[in-house]
Structure 1
Amino acid sequence: MSSSDIENGFFPDEVILQILARLPIKPLFRFKCVCKLWYKFPSNKYFIQLYNQVSLSNPMVLVEIMKSFYVQSGYICVDRLRGVSEFSLEFLKDRVKVRASCNGLLCCASVPNKGVYYVCNPMTRDYIMLPRTRERPMTRFHPDDEATLVGLAFHTSTCKFNVVLAGFYRPFGRRPLDSFICLVFDSEINAWRRSISSRTEEFTHMNKNQVVYSNGSIHWLTYSCLYILALDLANDMWRKIPLPDQIVGGSGNRLHLLELDGSVSVIRISDSWMSIWVLKDYLGDEWLETDRVSLRCIKGLVPSVFPISQTSEIVFLATQKQILEYHRKSRVWKEVYAVINSFTYPLWFSAHAFRSTIVSCNQGVNYS
């Protein structure tokens, strides 16, 4: 079948769109040379919305892989439909660490140059370097140097995004004070805004990695695991969301903050069970338990199981050297990736929820 047959209507345009919307990013852009019709698709507003909608039902896991202590880390993308593929962030021309992921975009922090942050789309290799939070680099205070909390919110409908850096004010050589400094980058005005509040929350390393954007707010699970700390991006107001009494407390239980179909979700892991809770009434703090899963068939892996991403169909979990997939309807567990290299630190240490998108992060930035 020739491209002219397709252009002349051998297949309806909608059928072609549905097929192309299920392709990986690289072949999609490579197929632009097939014909004029296909060339326009990746920049067509309707097709972009369709592609992003299809991607919502196909979650992926992004994992940093350390092949050696002397070689820069690489990255893999675990895709349940297309398998495992390697990709690089070398297009940033900097050594970076992924700090947050949202709707196909990544927020990366420069490792050698503290205080330098990038927002990029690794699938299209499109990126921007955020302006410095200060004219002169600061070394005595958080979060100008290295933020305690980093969050990313990407609004797919408007292509605008926000980056949040938050941490405690700390005079040089002294303990942090209770002044909680928050910096929010707004791509619509290409600038940072700053606010200060009094907070006493604590966060572990893994709490910092668990960042969820939902309902116009960015959420983090606190160290106490008694509540979620949320920042409303519309008015820079912090809010505490209490967790349900049924999942708070208990020795040996671990809580993990995730997103589920646009809602805030918490997964509780115990020795034998995994329970999934969703915040159904966001303003009323009403939680609903949607799943209760036995962990007996993976009992030896339970101590290191760490939920990374989920939809109404599947849950991705990471262990020290594996990525697991749990099918919620069939209740079947499946190993989708395993690492052999002994240099690699635990996969859950640097795993992030991810999905494919063809939106440019530069579209939402106003450079004027």
Structure 2
Amino acid sequence: MACTQMKCSKNGATSSADFPDDLIVEILSLLPVKSVCRFKCVSSLWYRLISQHRKKLPTTLSGFFYPKHRLNDEGDLVAFPTFDGILGNQEQPFSDSSLAFLTGYRQILPKDCCNGLIFCLCWKDSPIDEADYVVCNPVTEEWVVLPDAGHESNALAYRLGSDAAMSPHFHVFQILEGDVEYGYVSGVNIYSSETGAWSYKENGWGDNEIQIADMRGVFFNGMMHLLTYEFKILAVDTEGKTWRTISLLETMILGNFFVGPLAFIGQSQGRLYVINTTDNDSSKLSVWTLEDYNGNEWTFKYSISIAQLILELFGEKDLNLQQDYADLMLQRDYALIAIHPECNLIFFVWRSKDVLVSYGMDSGEVCVICSLKIHFSDTFPPYLPYVPLYSHIGRPRVEA
């Protein structure tokens, strides 16, 4: 082993001397993001090689898209996407966070984001009362206008599913309402970019009285996962053939007065996570992970004190950090928005300070990432975690 290491250190250009760059890049493209980042530190040659071919290699969370409101020339309040990065001064992978390449629209509302693609509701310049649902890639500036779903039922929600490691095609899940009064799910309409068409599937979860929570879904293991008010996670695959129900171990608080989610599902390091504020102690977050995805067995990982986070973050030692104060902060100012896909790091927004915050679940470190851009909104806008995607959208049909 020592001889091999010495040979490598003497031969500073081992990679280029022994293997062509294209082969090395292809091997690196199969590795996790964390491993690729470590290889950048091996030598200046490796750093240069990885930097030059970054578009072919796996990428990591770079920041968050969310809608920013502004007045247009006619004095109307309109919204367009804006972006806050989490990687310091690193150059953004796209040229314009407002998605200006989407032409012909007077307002663009980002609704969902999944692995480099953004799902938007776009209101037309003319006629002004018509809108399109659009999926776009900010890096390649390609976009696809979705056709009419062709279903009479009201849509409770739309969720975007995409994973370039599994398929170059994306899917949009339209969750349909069967009961207007109670909002029960009747079925799912699924759009495929491969076929360019929608496919309707009746509710296959075996329960006709389920309600989904108004928060982002998780596209994981080729299935869309949705959190419900019945404290369960529903999952359906892209063809509507496999339906799954995953029960949770705790009851939870799903939202607050200002529509900030206090329960959250996400995926990180190949596992499904639930971060939860329980009914019996809303001053704490509990973090659970599904270690065995097929086994339905949750493992408790962390307990996080909200009051302690407030104290560490803002140093407000004069505050009476008791249960009632923690409850007040949760009810007014706090929203979970993401978990980092490669490490035990969660992100949340603190509205009273207008800051984006990260919390390291292993280290306990609390960091203010940035101040959020001003917006004219009384509720928490959707903060959409964004991972750059350099490959093309499957069968794009660009429309102006």
Distance change >3 Å, CA 199–CA 132, structure 1 → 2: same
1:66–1:345 CA contact under 8 A, matched in 2: no
1:257 equivalent to 2:265? Answer yes
Which position in structure 2 is the counterpart of 1:318?
349
CA distance in 2, matches of 1:362, 1:119: 11
Equivalent residues in 2 for 1:219-258 (5 A)? Answer: 219-224=225-230, 226-244=231-249, 247-249=250-252, 254-258=262-266
Distance change >3 Å, CA 345–CA 111, structure 1 → 2: farther
CA distance in 1, matches of 2:375, 2:157: 30
Which position in structure 2 is the counterpart of 1:306?
335
From 99, 107, 123, the equivalent of 2:139 is 123
SS in structure 1 opposite 2:214?
A: helix
Which position in structure 2 is the counterpart of 1:290?
301
Q: Shift of the alpha carbon at 1:107?
A: 1.3
- TM-score w.r.t. structure 2 length? 0.67
Q: Shift of the alpha carbon at 1:249?
A: 4.8
1:164 equivalent to 2:173? Answer yes
1:154–1:162 CA contact under 8 A, matched in 2: yes
- TM-score w.r.t. structure 1 length? 0.72
Which position in structure 2 is the counterpart of 1:212?
218
CA distance in 1, matches of 2:297, 2:62: 26
> Which amino acid is 2:349 matched to?
A
- Aligned-residue sequence identity (percent) comes to 21
1:103 equivalent to 2:127? Answer no
Distance change >3 Å, CA 358–CA 190, structure 1 → 2: same
Distance change >3 Å, CA 329–CA 102, structure 1 → 2: same
SS in structure 2 opposite 1:192?
A: strand
Structure 1 residues 120-153: Cα deviation after superposition (integer angstroms, max 9, x where no partner): 112332111122223xxx7xx334xxx2121111
Q: Shift of the alpha carbon at 1:241?
A: 1.1
Coordinate RMSD, CA, aligned: 3.8
SS in structure 2 opposite 1:298?
A: helix
From 64, 68, 78, the equivalent of 1:65 is 68
Equivalent residues in 2 for 1:106-185 (5 A)? Answer: 106-111=118-123, 116-134=132-150, 141-143=152-154, 147-157=155-165, 158-169=167-178, 175=181, 180-185=186-191
Which structure has the greater CA radius of gyration? 2
Structure 2: which 5+ runs fail to align? 1-12, 34-47, 312-325
1:87 equivalent to 2:90? Answer no
1:202–1:223 CA contact under 8 A, matched in 2: yes
Q: Shift of the alpha carbon at 1:333?
A: 1.1
1:276 equivalent to 2:287? Answer yes
> Which amino acid is 1:240 matched to?
T
Structure 1: which 5+ runs fail to align? 1-5, 23-36
Which position in structure 2 is the counterpart of 1:31?
none
CA distance in 1, matches of 2:161, 2:375: 35
> Which amino acid is 2:338 matched to?
S
CA distance in 2, matches of 1:241, 1:97: 31
Q: Shift of the alpha carbon at 1:364?
A: 7.4
